[in-house]
Structure 1
């Protein structure tokens, strides 16, 4: 069994869900109330008990999807919301989800992953891939000191750190302390609206035009993983303590290796 899946399933079964407000969060409710189109395609990853999805469904939104790695909260949500379309409930690893949306909602999801840099790079890369050009990532991020204790999930983070990961893929419309948080979270969360950047127009016969080497590596890590990358291109920077930074340094010095990585990137795009 997937270790993350097992971890979250046990948390739900044991009732260790301290992040659960028991209702929709006020900042998200206020944001939803100003959306005019009821047909907008929305994804809520790490949906848990799905209070936001239930609110949207009850208010006439017709294209809302929820995703969680554990079936336990999804079954509870389905039982409590029988009018919610069954085909819009996804028990799946977030990083394997393939659909695209106009709006993705963030609610304690970013901080659910072990806080290593690569997980946070993968999060930003995957979020961008799930959105249509001009699509929005909207929600709440914890503004609390980072903890690495696995029993203290969700982990924290800072405004500066979040911006570092999201800025390469999104224009930041707003990202400030939430003014209307529930009392228990007041002062501890940031409300953000991030708009996906349009992809650069590619030169004819040059599919890599406008795509940086860092973007190529981030895509490969998110969609293939270091192990698969190492199988396809045998270089030490993919084998020994691989990081984006060390790989950039090596590939910028060795054109032969960079060309192989670019070909792997193009194969990955065709596959996905």
Structure 2
């Protein structure tokens, strides 16, 4: 088993949460089969040797189907040790799949395709900007993010839902939108509540995640985002819901000192780069 685990306490709590779900078999989200929209997408893929990553893989029916179809370079990653042990044993004799125990956001690699199936919706909404940043980083030059996002709101999460209106500005400029529409072939209980996405990495931009400090209100966050958006070369900005992180898409690498001047010259608010 390859091990790529985080050290920070908050992430460890997340690991314990998900591991307990698999230990108690409290996995109500598990379809028991590859999701039909993803199966249909896999059936369109011609190159069986592309590098594929499935984050937050769960029981990874998608990986099983990929292997059945002859794909040769699959990586799956999940943070739950109980689950990873099970799927590692399941694929123990198959050399075409690598099973990783670890944190997607600390993982290093380069992939032609990342398959999204209930990973994004399992993350706290405050991590969505980080998801865009990390996914862009892990994809190869013309890599694709494909899969499903929930097109509905849940009262309690996980899963955490959303809408196309919310997702489009989140991924804007970092990716080219090849497809983002209501899935026509979802299973009956999820009919009209899933968006199928196919997003291609924009290889001509820089995507950087920054930590923010001192911002307490949505009004201030909006003002700061608007000021940064006016900077030369900036194409898109998105601040997370607790105002602690911002992802910036730009044509060139931005000068951190200029960013700091833009948001506050008196140090009331600070911005620092988050390293990959």
TM-score by length of 2: 0.75
| 8 A Cα contact 1:133 1:199, kept in partner | no
Counterpart Cα distance in 2 of 1:240 and 1:166: 23
Measured at CA, do residues 177 and 85 of structure 1 come closer, stay the same or move farther in structure 2, by a change above 3 Å?
same
| Pairing 1:35-114 to 2, within 5 Å after superposition | 35-85=45-95, 88-114=98-124
Asked if 1:185 corresponds to 2:182, the answer is no
- Structure 1 gaps of 5+ residues are 201-210, 221-225, 227-236
Asked if 1:34 corresponds to 2:44, the answer is yes
User: SS at the partner of 1:103?
Assistant: strand
| 8 A Cα contact 1:103 1:135, kept in partner | yes
Counterpart Cα distance in 1 of 2:39 and 2:93: 20
CA offsets per residue over residues 102-141 of structure 1, 9 Å max, x none? Answer: 000000111101223xx11111111111101211000011
- Deviation of 1:242 (Å): 9.2
Counterpart Cα distance in 1 of 2:23 and 2:133: 31
Counterpart Cα distance in 2 of 1:134 and 1:255: 39
- Deviation of 1:247 (Å): 5.5
Would you tell me which structure has more strand in proportion to its own residues?
2
User: SS at the partner of 2:128?
Assistant: helix
Aligned counterpart, 2:179: 174
Q: Please, which of 143, 151, 170 is the counterpart of residue 151 of structure 2?
A: 143
User: SS at the partner of 2:125?
Assistant: coil
Aligned counterpart, 1:207: none
Aligned counterpart, 1:123: 131
Q: Please, which of 20, 26, 30 is the counterpart of residue 16 of structure 1?
A: 26
CA offsets per residue over residues 79-121 of structure 1, 9 Å max, x none? Answer: 22333349711111111011110000000111101223xx111
Aligned counterpart, 2:140: 132
Aligned counterpart, 1:206: none
Measured at CA, do residues 86 and 195 of structure 1 come closer, stay the same or move farther in structure 2, by a change above 3 Å?
closer
CA offsets per residue over residues 189-223 of structure 1, 9 Å max, x none? Answer: 111100110124xxxxxxxxxx5xxx54xx23xxx
After superposition, the CA RMSD in angstroms is: 2.6
Would you tell me which structure has more helix in proportion to its own residues?
1
Higher relative contact order (CA 8 A, sep 6+): 2
Counterpart Cα distance in 2 of 1:22 and 1:188: 19
Counterpart Cα distance in 1 of 2:32 and 2:263: 53
- Structure 2 gaps of 5+ residues are 1-8, 228-259
TM-score by length of 1: 0.76
Q: How many residues align?
A: 229
CA offsets per residue over residues 39-85 of structure 1, 9 Å max, x none? Answer: 10000000000100111112211110001011222221122233334
| 8 A Cα contact 1:78 1:84, kept in partner | no
Aligned counterpart, 1:195: 200
